[in-house]
Structures are given as structure tokens and as C-alpha cells.
């Protein structure tokens, strides 16, 4: 019988995969990988805000992630170059968060837990937050699926169909902020983007439809979480990085299978 903390960790990993799978598909389709990375890096600044104001870490992370997403969207609408803008914002937010945490002397903080995750320390209240956020994101994406897909395919087609592409982009931005907030405990700020991108990229090589890719990304993300936890338990390696390494291994396998199928 597995220890309770391993069961909780597995449930938490599957919960993150449930939300990251379909959202990661849109991140890939819209080429928002760097955007997701910037939002994830800002999570550390959210941790600092939560510690300074004595609020839940998830709430602080969510506030800052939303602020980062809104800032990037505002700058993009005004024609700023996204690659350099995202680079500046991402690393500035990460550095500012690390500096801000050092000014909280009353709190001893294990920064590695926030940078790389601490899934083995997930408690019952954490599970409620993770699954609550994941179900919210999934419900939002399912509700807006056709609109999001149309806006992703073509802004002109979306406008002709009576769909506001900017509003659909805002929906994805909100969903991304929620995923960053709930995934911080599992894989950490530096690896959240990997769990968004790698399972979806692995599923793309095998899927024939957008829905198939989203569902496949959920499956690969969940399998990566379980395989990474198993490897962490067996070889005494860090859990968060082990999960991402497992996802990378699944990507290599699906890439080879896709190439063989193409031949």
C-alpha cells in the first residue's frame, strides 16, 4: 500500500495534467509558449506578495499571474515586440520576486519548493485548490471550445462569425493564470511552462483532431506525473523535475512513433 503522501501527490499531478493538457494545446496552436513562461516566472513575485501580505500563496500567485497576463496583452495591443517584452517581464518578475522574498525576515522560505515544486508535501487543502482550479479551467475551455478554436484558427473568420477574438484571448489568459497558480505547488515556477507545452507537443504527433490532441495531452500529462513520481520514489530524485523528465521521454517516444507512422 502506498503511503498517503504519495497518493496525494499522484492525485495532485493528475489534477494539474487535467487542466494543463487542453490549455497547453492552445498555447502551442497560438504560439504562446513564451507567454506561458513569463506568466509562470511571475509566480515567484506572487509568492513574495502573499508572504508580505500574509495571504494564501495560491491567491498571491493568481493575482500576480493575472497582472502579468494583462500587462502582456496590453503591450501586445500597442504593437510592442513580444519576444523582447516577454523576456524583460519574465526575468524581471522572477528576480524581483526573489529579492522581495529576502525582505521577509520573519518567514523562512525554501525557494526550491517554489522554483521546482514540492508535490510530495501536498496536503488535502492543496488538493482541493488544485482540483478546484483544474475543473474551473476545464469547464471554461469546454464551454468556449468552438469559439476558442475559431479565434485560434483565424481572427478574420472569428470576427465574421460574430466572435470577438480578443475576448477569447482573454479567456485563455485567465485560464493560464489559474493553471500557474494551482501548478506552483506541483512542479514549481520554472517547470510550469514545461507541463503546459511538452504533453501537448507529444500528443500533437499522434492526434488527428484538435479534440484528440487535447485529450491526448491530458493522458500524457497524467502518465508523466505518475511515471515521474514513481521514478522519484525509486531513485530518490526531485519529484517536479522527474515529472518533466518523464514528459520529455513521452515526447521522444511519440515523436518517433509519429515519424515511423509517416513513413
Read off φ and ψ for residue 116, nearest 5 degrees. Answer: -120, 5
Q: What is the pLDDT of residue 91?
A: 86
Mean pLDDT taken over the chain:
88
Q: 164 CB contacts (<8 Å, ≥6 apart)?
A: 158
* 2, pLDDT greater than 50: no
Residue written as grid cell 485560434: 152
Task: Give 38's pLDDT tier (boundaries 50, 70, 90).
Answer: confident
Residue written as grid cell 507567454: 35
Quote the percentage of the chain above a pLDDT of 90.
Answer: 44
Cα 101 from chain centre: 22
* 174, pLDDT greater than 80: yes
In angstroms, the CA 147 to CA 155 distance is 11
Cα angle 16, 224, 228 (rounded to 5 degrees) comes to 105
Model's pTM, two decimal places? 0.90
Q: Looking at residues 29-53, what average pLDDT do you find?
A: 86
User: Alpha helices, DSSP H only, in the chain?
Assistant: 4-29, 33-41, 43-53, 57-77, 82-101, 111-116, 124-143, 145-153, 155-160, 165-187, 192-204, 210-235, 239-262
What is the set of domains in the chain, with CATH numbers? 4-192 (1.10.3470.10)
100-128: pLDDT as tens digits: 888 877 666 677 888 888 898 898 889 99
Q: Looking at residues 143-154, what average pLDDT do you find?
A: 93
Q: Decide: residue 172, CB within 10 A, 0-12 exposed, 13-18 middle, 19+ buried.
A: buried
210-252: pLDDT as tens digits: 999 999 999 999 999 999 999 999 999 999 999 999 999 999 9
Amino acid at each position: 500500500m502506498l503511503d498517503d503522501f504519495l497518493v496525494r501527490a499522484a492525485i495532485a499531478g493528475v489534477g494539474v495534467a487535467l487542466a494543463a493538457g487542453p490549455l497547453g494545446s492552445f498555447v502551442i496552436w497560438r504560439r504562446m509558449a513564451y507567454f506561458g513562461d513569463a506568466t509562470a516566472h511571475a509566480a515567484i513575485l506572487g509568492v513574495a506578495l502573499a508572504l508580505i501580505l500574509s495571504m494564501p500563496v495560491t491567491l498571491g500567485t493568481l493575482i500576480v499571474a493575472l497582472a502579468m497576463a494583462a500587462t502582456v496583452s496590453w503591450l501586445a495591443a500597442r504593437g510592442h515586440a513580444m519576444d523582447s517584452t516577454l523576456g524583460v517581464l519574465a526575468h524581471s518578475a522572477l528576480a524581483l520576486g526573489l529579492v522581495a522574498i529576502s525582505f521577509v525576515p520573519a518567514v523562512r522560505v525554501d525557494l526550491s519548493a517554489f522554483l521546482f515544486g514540492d508535490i510530495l508535501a501536498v496536503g488535502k487543502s492543496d488538493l482541493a485548490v488544485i482540483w478546484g482550479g483544474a475543473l474551473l479551467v476545464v469547464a471554461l475551455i469546454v464551454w468556449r471550445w468552438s469559439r476558442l478554436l475559431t479565434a485560434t484558427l483565424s481572427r478574420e473568420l472569428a470576427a465574421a462569425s460574430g466572435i470577438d477574438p480578443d475576448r477569447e484571448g482573454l479567456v485563455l489568459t485567465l485560464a493560464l493564470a489559474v493553471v500557474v497558480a494551482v501548478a506552483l505547488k506541483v512542479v514549481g515556477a520554472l517547470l510550469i511552462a514545461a507541463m503546459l507545452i511538452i504533453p501537448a507537443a507529444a500528443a500533437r504527433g499522434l492526434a488527428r483532431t484538435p479534440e484528440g490532441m487535447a485529450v491526448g495531452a491530458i493522458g500524457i500529462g497524467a502518465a508523466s506525473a505518475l511515471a515521474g513520481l514513481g521514478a522519484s520514489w525509486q531513485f530518490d530524485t526531485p519529484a517536479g523535475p522527474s515529472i518533466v523528465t518523464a514528459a520529455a521521454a513521452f515526447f521522444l517516444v511519440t515523436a518517433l512513433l509519429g515519424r515511423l507512422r509517416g513513413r
